[in-house]
Chains A and B, each alone.
Chain A
C-alpha cells in the first residue's frame, strides 16, 4: 500500500468509525489490538452491535464502504481458515447472546448467535434436555461460531451433525437484508434449506444472528468403555464388530499415538437395564481384548489434542475417511509421520472424522500434511489444516473443493457480491 492509499484508507476508517459510534455508542466500537489479528492479519476495529438490526446495519454500511468484515463469536476457532485477503472490521456477536425461547415441550430452542454453547446447554439441562452435540471449548464457543465452523464431536454418530440439528436460521447479509429460513418446527419442507447452507459456510455468506435447534432429552444414564487392542488388525476387527452389531452405542472413537497401542472407546446411553444388557453384548464382541469401564473424560480426547500446544512445532488437522477406513487411516498417519520423524496423536470417530496432532520440524510437518491430504483425497476423504507453526511454509486450509467450486462461488457472488465477508478464508479463495 503506498502512502497516499494508506492515508486515504486511514481517513475512511476514521470517518466510518464515527458513523458507527454515532449509532452504537463509543463502548461498542473499539480500535483493534494485536490480539485481535485474524490468522496473522491485523483488523482496524472491533464492533459489537447489541441487536440483529444493528448488526445488519453495520454490515450494510461496511459493505457500502468497501470494508472487509470478519464475524467473530467466542474466538475459539478464530485462527482456523486461510488468512483473510483483507480485514477491516471484526464484527462481534458477543452482545447477541439471548436464549430467546426454550420451547421444552416441543423440544426446540431459539437462541442468538453470541450465546455460548455451555450457557445454552445449562439452560436446556434445567428441563432435562440438550443440543445433542459435543463441540470444542463449549464454555467459550458460541452458537454462531460452532455453526459457521460446523464443529461436531463423537455424539455425531447417533445424533448427526449441526446440519441435522438446526431447523431455522436468521442471516444478516452484506446488503443489510435480514433473512430467515427454516422455522420453529422440526418437520418442515417449505422453501430452501438455508440453515444447512449457513452451517459450515465459515461466515462467508452472511452473519448468523440466530438459530433454532431441535433438542434431545438428556440421557438417563451413560456408561463408557475402553478396549485396548494389541494390533492394528485387532482394532479393525473390534470396530467392525461393534459397528456391525445391533448395539445402540451413542459414540465410538479410536485413540492412537506414537509409541502406544490404540484404544477404542464406546459410549452407551439409556436405562439401567438397557445399559447392563449392552455391556454384556459388548463383552461378547471383544474376543481376546479386555473391556474396562472408563471415565467420561475419554470423550475430551479430541479437545485434549490442543492442550499444551507448542506453537513452534505443532500442527493440527481434521481429516475425513470412510467409516470402514478408520484403522487404515491410523496406519497411513503413522507411516507418514514415522518417515518424517514426527510424533503423532489422534482421535478418529466412528463416522470417519478424525483429528490429528503432529509434532516436529516445521518443514517436515508441511510435507507430511501434504502427503496425508493427497492420500485421503484419493480415497474421497479430506484433510483440513487447522493450526500450523508460524515457521511452517503456508498450506491451504481446505484442500480440494471438488468440481462444484464454481457453483459455490456463484452462491457467494449472489449473497456477498462485493466479497465483504471473510474474504479469502474459505475454500478455493472464497
Chain B
C-alpha cells in the first residue's frame, strides 16, 4: 500500500480516523485470542456508512483485503488483521439510532456496546436478549459477525434470532439492505446468511434488532451434585419434564474451586454445580421451580439453594461468569475451548475428557452451557514446564474431535475465525464447504472481506489452538466473560 492510497484513505476519515504508526497499530494486531498476531498496514475509524463505503471502494479498486472490527473481544481470531490489509474499526459508529417500543425494535450502529442497548431500554421494561458474557464491552456489530450466544440463548435464541434487518456495505462498496423492521421481507433470507459469517461477506453498518419485554419474575436455583454425571441426568430430567429454563449452567469441581478463589460466590464444594434459571409469570415460575427442585433432589443433589434476592442472584452468576478468568488462580496458563455435543452425550464425552486429561497429565476444568450441550473445557498448563504447552494444545484439539465424533460442533459461540478453520474439514465434507464458498463468491467474488478466515486452506495445516490470555479490559477488572 503506497502513500497515495494512505492519503486517500486518510482524507475519507477527515484525517482523524486513520492510524498508521506502528506503536498505535499494536492495539489492533490481535483480538481476544492473543496468540495470533498480524500487524495491519492501517486502521480506519469511520464515523458514517458513507465513509465505510468510500473506504471499501478504495480497497476494492486496489485489491486491498480488509477486516472489520468491533471491540476486539472475539475468542477465535476473527478480527485478526490480514497481511498487507487494513482494519476497519466500527467503534466510532456507536449511536442507537431509534427505539420503537410498540413494535419492539431498535436500530443501532455496529459499534454500539451490547449492554448499552439494554441500558437504553430498561426504563420501559425491555431488554436486548443475547448476552455474551463480554456484553459490557463487546459490540453489536461483532455479535452479528459471530452470531454470539450467551447463557440465556437456551430460551431466547442467539443473535440471529434477534437481528431482523441489516444495512450492509458489500465488498465492492455498494450498499444493500437485508430483511427489515417487518418480518418475511420478499426474497432470500440474506440477513440469516450474513449473521455469523464472521466478517467474510461485508460490513454491517446498521442493525435492526428485536427487543424483548422483561419477564415478570426471575428465579435462580443452585444445586450441588456428587459429579457431572448426576448433574447431567438432572438436566435431562428437567428437559424431559417439558420445561424450557432461561438458562442451565454447569461447573465441575475444578471450575468451582477456581471461581471460589476468584470471587467468593459461596459455592458449595462439590463434584458438580448446576445453576438453573427460570423466568416468566410468577405463578408459573414458582410451580416449575418446585419441579426443578424435586428433579435435582431425586438425582442426588446434596444441597439446593434458591437465590432470595437480586443481590444473591447476581452473586450466583458472578461466580459462573468469572470462571474463565478465575483459572488464573489455579493455573499459570490455560486454553479456553468451545465445543458442542448433543446433551445426552455428556457422560460419555466427560469420561473421555477425564481419560485424555489423565493421559496428558494435565488438568481440565469444565464449564458448560448444559441446556444446549455447549462445553467450555479449560485446559490448564504451565508454560515453564517443557512440553506442557504443546501437550495442552494437543489435548484441547482432541477434545474438539470428541465433540465432532459425538455429533456435535467445533464451535457453539466463539466462531471459527483463524483458530478453528483447520477443523472445518473434520466437521464438514468437501461439497459442504464448497457450497458455502459459492455463496461467499456471490457476496465477495474478489475475496477481500476478511479473506483468510473460517475456511480451511492447505497452507494452514498444523496450526494449533492458543492459550487464553485475558483481554486488557478484563485484566483491568472492567469486564468478565464466560
Give A residues with C-beta under 8 Å from B.
103, 105-108, 128, 150, 160-161, 163-164, 171, 173, 177-181, 183-194, 196-197, 199-201, 205, 216-220, 240, 243-248, 270-274, 276-278, 281, 318, 320-325, 351-353, 380-382, 384, 398-405, 407-408, 410-411, 413-415, 426-428
Contacts and interface: CB of A to CB of B under 8 A. Distances in A.
- Which size bracket describes the interface of B in this complex? 35 or more
Contact of B441 (A177, A352, A414, A428): A414
Contacts of B185: 320, 382, 402
B163 to A, nearest CB: 11
Contacts of A401: 186-187
Contact of B242 (A220, A246, A398): A220
A199 B189 contact: yes
B342 A150 contact: no
Contacts of B146: 189
Given A243-B213, A245-B213, 8 more contacts: A128-B242, A183-B408, A185-B340, A188-B409, A191-B416, A276-B283, A351-B183, A399-B186
Interface string B91-106: 0000000001111110
B334 interface: no
Interface of B: 100-105, 125, 146-147, 149, 153, 157-158, 160-161, 170, 175-178, 180-190, 192-193, 195-197, 213-216, 236, 239-244, 280-288, 340-344, 369, 372-374, 407-416, 420, 424, 427-429, 431-436, 438-443, 454
A16 to B, nearest CB: 25
Contacts of A382: 182, 184-186
Contact of B186 (A161, A271, A400): A400
Nearest to A162: B189
A187 B413 contact: yes
A178 B285 CA distance: 45
B443 A246 contact: no
16 contacts: A163-B192, A181-B436, A189-B146, A190-B424, A190-B427, A191-B424, A193-B196, A197-B190, A201-B189, A217-B241, A217-B242, A244-B102, A246-B213, A401-B187, A404-B177, A411-B188
Given A180-B432, A217-B244, A246-B213, A190 B344 contact: no
Given A382-B185, A410-B442, A414-B441, A185 B341 contact: yes
Contacts, number: 277
Contact of B372 (A178, A187, A193): A187
Contact of B190 (A128, A408, A426): A408
A109 to B, nearest CB: 12
B358 to A, nearest CB: 27
Contacts of A194: 193, 435-436, 439
Contacts of B280: 248, 270, 274
A53 B447 CA distance: 32
Nearest to B170: A407
A103 B342 contact: yes
Contact of B193 (A103, A193, A428): A193
Contacts of A276: 283
Nearest to B157: A164
Given A173-B435, A185-B341, A407-B443, A196 B157 contact: no
Given A218-B242, A410-B442, A414-B442, A277 B424 contact: no
A171 B239 contact: no
Given A187-B373, A188-B411, A380-B181, A197 B454 contact: no
B236 A105 contact: yes
A192 B436 contact: yes
Contacts of A411: 188, 190, 439, 442
Given A164-B161, A189-B196, A196 B189 contact: yes
Contact of B176 (A108, A205, A320, A403): A403
